[in-house]
Amino acid sequence: MDIFSKRRHFLSNQLETNSVAVLFGSEETLRNGDVNFPFRQNSNFSYLTNFPESESIAVLDNENFIIFCKEKNKLKEQWDGEILGPENAKLYGATQGIPIDEYEKVLPSLVKDRDNIYCFESFIPKLKKLLPNYEAIIKPLDFEVSKMRAIKSQEELQIIEEACRISSLAHMRAMKSVKPGMYEYQLEAEYVHEFMSQGARACAYPSIVGGGKNACVLHYNENKDILNDGDLVLVDAGCEFKNYASDITRTFPVNGKFTKEQRDIYEIVLEASKKSIETVISGSNPLKAHETSIEIISQGLLDLGLLDGELNEIIESNRYFDFYMHRVGHYMGLDVHDVGGKDINGNWLDYAPGMITTIEPGIYINENLNVPDEYKNIGIRIEDNVVVTETGFKILTDLVPKEVNDIESLMNS
């Protein structure tokens, strides 16, 4: 049985008796005029079916796996490339393939007399519109599938490791290429070049390339300014490989050498990174990782005199928040901010083998903060991807250096 059949089998066994699941794929999205954005299949649909085309619906129960999809069409295929067609749905394990144009007629008969219809929450309005007179209970599938997606299989781990390897190479390429006077988007091009050259056709999210004060804007992605001598550049960029994300941030000096103040802040973030990663072990949890990062960053800022007072008070009153205003990590998988890891009430679950999280502490010194001028406009984040193992953790992104000396050596080699 292939991995997708195993997932469907596992899921359909969780459903209540006399139920059926209806799954929707992504649709094409118009970018402008008659041009679409590059198509990306819905993550849950992909996880359960591996079916790659737009305009697809799957219907699943213990015995059936039906795929509705586009029909083959010689003229359309001449313009836009091959369409699989219902006759090829069996290649994806389907018990039956049906033309998508027939779903309005056929779907009601497939769900007739069922007690429950399961569907991912964001598609429930669409399902209700398709089945206006239907009286079964509609139940969300999200929690069950999120639990499955939270724990990565060996096959998934191999793909994510490759995504992380490619993204690490891209960061190394960028460290060697950056020069004062380049535009941020020119540095971004080094990432795209490496991703594609290595077989990753897309970015997992819009790359953030922020020089100087732009690094203090958490989701800056205009990437339009010149990189100046003496500034740091923060790059948060990761490729998507076979639909799986990687998510790496490195911060490095545009001219290849950290200033004293940049190094002061960098070393705090680096320590927070290392100590937080150590908490990514079975039985610990994301709250512990986050608290660890807050403690180290607050203590570091106190030691430098950028915060005053007493450690516990700084933490309890959230005064560190002016410098560090995001969480230390998130789960990662088919989505860069992946599902899973919380119980049905929204509480964090303990880390367990096979979970993958980012660890990404940062310090962002906005120019309005009351600190000496030399520290203003420094923004630093260090982000790694870490998998929980049976015996501890494994960092998937340690090919790309993060020690000051190692970064400087690579940049000047």
Is 383 tagged catalytic?
A: yes
Strand pairing class (137-140; 232-237)? unpaired
State the minimum distance, in angstroms, from the CB of residue 59 to ligand GLY: 34
Q: Does 338 bind ligand GLY (CB under 6 A)?
A: no
Count of residues that interact with ligand GLY, criterion CB under 6 A: 7
Q: Which residues of 276-298 are buried (b: 16+ CB within 10 A; e: fewer)?
A: bbebbbbebbbebbbebbbbbbb
Nearer to ligand GLY, 299 or 385 (CB): 385
DSSP-derived 3-state class of residue 146: helix
Out of 236, 240, 335, 338, the only residue in the binding site for Mn ion (CB under 5 A) is 236
Say whether residue 335 binds Mn ion (CB under 5 A): no
Site string for ligand GLY, 97-116 (x = CB under 6 A): --------------------
**Catalytic residue list contains 219:** yes
Q: What is the footprint of ligand GLY within residues 262-281 (CB under 6 A)?
A: none
Q: Which whole-number Å values give the CA distances from 244 to 45, 98, 281, 326, in the listed order?
A: 14, 29, 22, 23
3-state secondary structure at position 202: strand
Q: Which of 156, 190, 194, 236 is catalytic?
A: 236
164: amino acid identity, one letter: C
Residue written as token pair 């993958």: 356
Establish if 384 lies at the interface with ligand GLY (CB under 6 A). no
Q: What does 407 bind: Mn ion, ligand GLY, none (CB cut-off 5 to 8 Å by kind)?
A: none
Distance, CA of 140 to CA of 135 (rounded, Å):
16
- Residue entry with tokens 């039985």: 283
Q: Catalytic annotation on 171?
A: no
Contacts of 363 (CB under 8 A, 6+ apart): 265, 268, 269, 297, 300, 301, 323, 324, 378, 379, 380
Check residue 161 for interaction with Mn ion (CB under 5 A).
no
Residue 247 is a catalytic residue: yes
Clarify whether 335 is annotated catalytic: no
290 is catalytic: no
How many of the chain's residues bind Mn ion (CB under 5 A)? 4
**CA nearest to 46, candidates 18, 23, 19, 66:** 23
Taking Cα atoms as reference points, which of 86, 118, 88, 114 lies closest to residue 102?
Answer: 86
Please tell me whether residue 247 binds ligand GLY under the rule CB under 6 A.
yes
Q: Is there binding between residue 385 and Mn ion (CB under 5 A)?
A: no
Does 34 qualify as catalytic in the annotation? yes
Catalytic option among 337, 343, 403, 406:
337
Q: Which is nearer to ligand GLY, 247 or 264 (CB)?
A: 247
- Per-residue contact string for residues 349-378; x = within reach of ligand GLY by CB under 6 A: -----------x------------------
Angstrom distances, CA of residue 369 to CA of 216, 275, 372, 378: 12, 27, 9, 11
143 is an interface residue for ligand GLY by CB under 6 A: no
What's the number of CA atoms in the CB half-sphere (13 Å) around residue 45? Answer: 25
231 forms part of the interface with ligand GLY (CB under 6 A): no
Q: Which of 162, 247, 264, 408: binder of Mn ion (CB under 5 A)? A: 247
Instruction: Find which of Mn ion, ligand GLY, none residue 231 binds, CB within 5 to 8 Å per kind.
Output: none
Instruction: Kindly name the residue from 184, 330, 331, 375 that is annotated as catalytic.
Output: 330
Question: CA 311 to CA 324: how far, in whole Å?
Answer: 15
Catalytic residue among 247, 264, 295, 408: 247
Q: Tell me the C-alpha to C-alpha distance, in Å, between residue 141 and each of 45, 105, 119, 280.
A: 12, 24, 5, 28
Residue 370 per-residue DSSP state: S
Q: For residue 271, give the DSSP letter.
A: H
Residue 205 binds: one of ligand GLY, Mn ion, none (C-beta under 5 to 8 A by kind)? ligand GLY
Q: Which residues bind ligand GLY (CB under 6 A)?
A: 205, 236, 247, 330, 336, 360, 383
Active-site residues, by number, are 34, 219, 236, 247, 326, 330, 337, 360, 364, 381, 383
Q: Which residues bind Mn ion (CB under 5 A)?
A: 236, 247, 358, 383
